[in-house]
Amino acid sequence: MTAGEALSVYLQDQATEFLRSLRLQRESTTDAQGAEESLAAARSLRRAARRVGATLHTFRPLLDPEWTEALRPELAWLSGTLAREHAYAARLDRLLGALHRLSTPAPVPAPVRSAQAPRTAGAGAGAAGAPVPRPGQGAKKPTGPLAIGAAKAAALLERQLTLARTRAHSTALQAFGSSRFHAVADSVAVLASEVPLHPAPEADLKPLAAAAEAQLVEAVAALPLLRAGHPYNAEALVHGLAADTAPEAQDAPWLKVRSLLRLHRYAQEVLLGATAPDARLMAAGAALDRHREAAEAAAAAASAARTPRIAPATAYALGVLHADQRHEVEAARFAFQQAWLREAVTAP
């Protein structure tokens, strides 16, 4: 199989998946089952759009340059528009889950006399991995001022993020009806039938995939990995009370690595097929996804705290929540460092 053939197979598969997901989403009913199907279809639509866009980018010397350069920003616009609704929903889930974990009453401990009592008190929680309940679903009603602050913070976040999500949903619906979207869908349909290759005889996939990997490695080398590998370095929260934009500066290189890791992963899929994903790359990618989600959740908590006329107890709960999510950011960096070094050691 030539480079052009391999690239065509991958792009045609992804384009076909894109068109299939689009049809599924359009045909989905408006009942509960339809909503589930629509969500799943939107997910695989975004998934295919990301892969097509990344592949057009990494292997652009093998493709018709004009056609490619015209489609890429349009795919990015579409992915971004579709991702926003999902992101707000996930952010709200994450924040309500964290607030629930923080405001669940501790199990009543036995007095610390026997050797068994502290074990019960310390290890009985384990709520970190629990499913995400909505406020009011808990077994007990909030009683103290702390719990009331947490409940008010949950209500405030639910209001703000649900509004943002609804707006994102409307924007996505508008996008689906736009001529801009129909043009993208037409281009992807072209891709599904015949990939517009550049007639370059010397073209090869491997050096282009290697270039994508080299960019990733260079970006990772620029990360403060030594510090991230030292647990509890308190780096993610530093400057947290300095200015609203403080975390963005330290998060940017991690977000950049997240994008480059995706490009590398998709290039590997073109080269090796998507059948056997690299477990270490997946772990590193999952850590960076968690980094991004936690950073955005922390920003949403900080933003909610700037709502005028909120009660001090609400603001306090949002402060605790912000720090908790920045703590998650730090944990994600640690997880990435562990996954990445594991790879470097065992790679040939």
Supply the minimum distance, in Å, between the C-beta of residue 256 and a second copy.
Answer: 6
> What is the nearest approach in angstroms of a second copy to the Cβ of residue 222?
4
**Binding marks (x or -) toward a second copy, 266..305, rule CB under 8 A?**
------------------------------------x--x
Point out which span in 21-29, 73-81, 106-114, 173-181 binds a second copy (CB under 8 A).
Answer: 106-114
State which of residues 239, 273, 279, 282 lies at the interface with a second copy (CB under 8 A).
239
Q: Nearest-CA neighbor of 121 among 100, 140, 107?
A: 107
Structure tokens at 209: 């995939």
| Spatial distance between the Cα atoms of 67 and 346, rounded to a whole number of angstroms | 40
328-347 residues in contact with a second copy (CB under 8 A) are 328, 330-331, 334
* Smallest separation, CB 178 to a second copy (Å): 32
Find the binding residues for a second copy in span 63-102 (CB under 8 A). 99, 101-102
User: d(Cα 34, Cα 36) in Å, to the nearest integer?
Assistant: 5
Cβ 46 vs Cβ 310: under 8 Å: no
**Stretch of residues binding a second copy (CB under 8 A), selected from 12-20, 86-94, 252-260, 268-276:** 252-260
Q: Which of 6, 9, 246, 271 binds a second copy (CB under 8 A)?
A: 246
Vertex 195: Cα angle to 193 and 199 (nearest 5)? 140
CB of 57 to a second copy, least distance (A): 17
Q: Are 62 and 203 in contact (CB under 8 A)?
A: yes
Q: Are 54 and 259 in contact (CB under 8 A)?
A: no
Ramachandran sector of residue 30 (left: φ over 0; alpha: ψ -120 to 50; beta: rest): alpha
Diameter of the chain measured on Cα atoms: 80
String marking each residue 128-167 x if it binds a second copy according to CB under 8 A: x--------------xxxxx-xx-----------------
- Alpha carbon distance 288, 220 (integer Å): 12
Binding positions for a second copy, 191-230, rule CB under 8 A: 218-219, 221-224, 227
- Give whichever of 103 and 187 is closer to a second copy, judged by the CB atom: 103
- Applying CB under 8 A, among 117, 155, 272, 279 the residue interacting with a second copy is 117
- Which residue lies nearer to a second copy by CB, 109 or 273? 109
Tell me, residue by residue from 254 to 273, as one string, x for binding to a second copy by CB under 8 A and - for no binding: --x-----------------
Q: Tell me the residue length of the chain.
A: 348
| Binder among 32, 139, 242, 345 for a second copy (CB under 8 A) | 242
State phi, psi for 272 to the nearest 5 degrees. -110, -5
- Examine residue 315 and tell whether it contacts a second copy (CB under 8 A): yes
Question: Is the CB of residue 14 less than 8 Å from the CB of residue 188?
Answer: no
Minimum CB distance to a second copy smaller for 138 or for 196 = 138
* Per-residue CA distances from 271 to 241, 267, 278, 343 (Å): 46, 6, 13, 19
Cα-based torsion angle of the residue sequence 348, 264, 85, 254 in order, rounded to the nearest 10 degrees:
70
Least Cβ distance, residue 273 to a second copy (angstroms): 31
The rounded distance, in Å, linking the Cα atoms of 38 and 172 is 13
The 10 Å Cβ neighbour count of residue 201 is: 6
**Residue among 244, 272, 279, 282 that touches a second copy (CB under 8 A):** 244
Q: Residue 70 or 252: which CB sits closer to a second copy?
A: 252
Nearest distance in Å: CB 153, a second copy:
8
- The pair phi, psi for residue 342, each rounded to 5°, is -60, -40
Q: Give whichever of 59 and 340 is closer to a second copy, judged by the CB atom.
A: 340
Torsion sign over Cα 186, 192, 194, 199: positive
